[in-house]
Structure 1
Amino acid sequence: MANALEALKTLTTVVADTGDFETLAAYTPQDATTNPSLILKALQKEEYKPVLDAAIRATDDSGAEGEARIDLVIDHLLVGFGQKILEIVPGRVSTEVDARLSFDTEATIDKARELIELYESKGTPRERILIKIASTWEGIQAAKVLQKEGIHCNMTLLFSLAQAVACAEAGAQLISPFVGRILDWYKANTGEDYTAETDPGVASVKEIYTYYKKFGYATEVMGASFRNIGEILELAGCDLLTISPNLLEELKGMDAEVPVKLDPTEAKGTQVDAIDVSEKSFRWLLNEDAMATEKLAQGIRVFGQDMQKVRDMVAQAVG
């Protein structure tokens, strides 16, 4: 019998959720995702110092100084990690726009273009890159522009159906609903324990998946931010699942069959009402969802704080 990881791969595209490219080969994922927190964690390991050193060297003759130099080094750093990952995975890597741009459509568009241009200048085609953008209204409007330019977007920090539908309407390539963070909120606010079957994060992804398949959206659904194996197995059949190395290892060590839990044909036959995601409606629906509002704001804050720590490390290294 194949292990659970290999069985899952027959149903779902498995993506590694890590900036630690040294561990990727053991799990042979199709794609990989990164975020500021994962990059920060990797940079604290001595073996990743050469990636930072290379990013600094690449900007030596740029003429940029001060904050502009730090910005440029960080862009090279993010692309450097992405390229190392792409040497290992056959598919795509997700590279995140600074979360502090989450409420600035034009700045998000500009940064995404800069990252893609840098990847392409180093020989990596844009087809292998997903630009991660927070699923704010402003971020979604940025994705709408970028997708038309052939810059594929991974909409992150997504906690609600309203966000998911708005992303699909904008033509986003992929969304990353955060399963575990939804569970965290409900456990903290209800005091209840949940099984994989009753997990509100799992339920959210199932709702989004069903809506997308029912109405024929091409946007891919990639469950993310898992807390346990049960959540992952309950979403077998989802388009993609991005999984941390510790949970990939746990799956690899399990001898178990993995039954299909999400089926597109079944989803298409489900009775689902369409929702309005015009700007006014989107903002109201998000406001009415306390969990999504709080987790989106918290996620932006945390990613912003971790990016600032990365900036501080770069500033110190640049000298």
Structure 2
Amino acid sequence: MTSKLDQLRAMTTVVADSGDIEAVARLKPVDCTTNPTIVLKALGTPMFADAIKEAIAWGKKQGGTPDAVASAVADRLAISVGAALSGLVPGRVSTEVDADLSFNTEGSIAKARAIIAAYKERGISHDRILIKLASTWEGIRAAEVLQKEGIDCNLTLLFSKAQAVACADAKVFLISPFVGRILDWYKKSTGKEYAPEEDPGVLSVREIYNYYKANDIKTIVMGASFRSAGEVEALAGCDRLTISPNLLDELAKDEGKLERKLSPENKTSVSKIAVDERTFRWMMNEDAMATEKLAEGIRAFAKDLIALRTMVGKELQLAAA
């Protein structure tokens, strides 16, 4: 019997949700996703000591305020992590636009273009990169512009059908609906435990997947933020799944039978809807879980972004001493 991970790979594109170079090399996912939390953790390992030294040396030669230089060096380090990952996977690496630009469409577009340019300087073409943006109204509008320029986007921190529909309308390349964080909210709200088949996060992704397939929407659905292997198994067959190394290892050791849960052939009819800004904001307002988890996610990523810039600032000060 083959492992559940191998069975999953036969029906779903497996993506590593990690900046752990050794784990990615060992598990051989097709793509990798990163975020400020993952980048910060990766930079804390010995593997990126030289990259930090190089970026600090580069930063010393840059002009501008200390905060601006620290921000530029932090950006350079995020690209260093992404570049290292791109050398290990045959597909795409997702790199996130700064969380503090989540409500700034023009700022997000400019940052995305800068990220693509920085990768190009390292010989990595734009078709190897996905630009990650928060699924705010402003982030979705930024993605719409970038997609028209040929820059593919991954819309993250997605918790609701309203966000998914708006992303589809914008012709976004890929969405990352968060499974585990939805489950977290419902467990805290209700005090209940949920089996995978009744897991609110699993059900949310299944609904979005069915809506897309029923309406021939080309946007890729990539389930993310898993709390257990059971959640992953409950979405077997989804276009893509981005999974942490510990859960990938668990699936690799399990030789039980994996049942396919999602398939384009098994879609059920559902009417296509359009979501303008007013409708989007009202639907989000009416969905306490989506509103709270989106805001919480942006705050968490912003916190880690600040932590990275602070670390860089201290290194720059030490280098100047």
Q: TM-score normalized by structure 1? A: 0.97
The SS at the match of 2:196 is coil
Superposed displacement of residue 308, structure 1: 0.4
Distance, in Å, in 1 between the alignment partners of 2:64 and 2:42 is 26
Contact 2:42–2:81 (CA under 8 A) maintained in structure 1: no
Equivalence map 1:300-315=2 (5 Å):
300-315=298-313
Contact 1:25–1:88 (CA under 8 A) maintained in structure 2: yes
Contact 2:159–2:178 (CA under 8 A) maintained in structure 1: yes
Matched residue type, 2:178: F
User: Counterpart in 2 of 1:69?
Assistant: 69
| Residue 83, structure 1, aligned to residue 83, structure 2 | yes
Matched residue type, 2:66: G
Superposed displacement of residue 121, structure 1: 1.4
Distance, in Å, in 2 between the alignment partners of 1:119 and 1:193 is 43
The SS at the match of 1:204 is helix
**1:264-318 CA distances to partner (integer Å, 9 max, x unpaired)?**
0211xx1313333110001101110010000000000010001100111111111
User: Which aligned segments of 4 or more residues in structure 1 are displaced greater than 6 angstroms?
Assistant: none
User: Counterpart in 1 of 2:244?
Assistant: 244
Equivalence map 1:230-309=2 (5 Å):
230-267=230-267, 270-309=268-307
The SS at the match of 1:197 is helix
**1:224-282 CA distances to partner (integer Å, 9 max, x unpaired)?**
00000010001011000000011011011111222211010211xx1313333110001
Distance, in Å, in 1 between the alignment partners of 2:5 and 2:17 is 15
Equivalence map 1:129-278=2 (5 Å):
129-267=129-267, 270-278=268-276
Matched residue type, 2:56: I
Contact 1:20–1:42 (CA under 8 A) maintained in structure 2: yes
Matched residue type, 1:56: I
Matched residue type, 1:237: G
**1:148-204 CA distances to partner (integer Å, 9 max, x unpaired)?**
111111000000001001011111110000000000000000111100000000000
| Residue 7, structure 1, aligned to residue 12, structure 2 | no
Superposed displacement of residue 21, structure 1: 1.4
Q: May I ask how many residue pairs the two structures share in their alignment?
A: 317
Distance, in Å, in 2 between the alignment partners of 1:247 and 1:190 is 26
Matched residue type, 2:273: I
Distance, in Å, in 2 between the alignment partners of 1:156 and 1:52 is 27
Distance, in Å, in 1 between the alignment partners of 2:207 and 2:54 is 44
Q: Give unpaired runs (5+ residues) of structure 2.
A: none
Contact 1:58–1:76 (CA under 8 A) maintained in structure 2: no
Distance, in Å, in 1 between the alignment partners of 2:273 and 2:78 is 36
Superposed displacement of residue 64, structure 1: 4.1
Q: Give unpaired runs (5+ residues) of structure 1.
A: none
Superposed displacement of residue 65, structure 1: 4.2
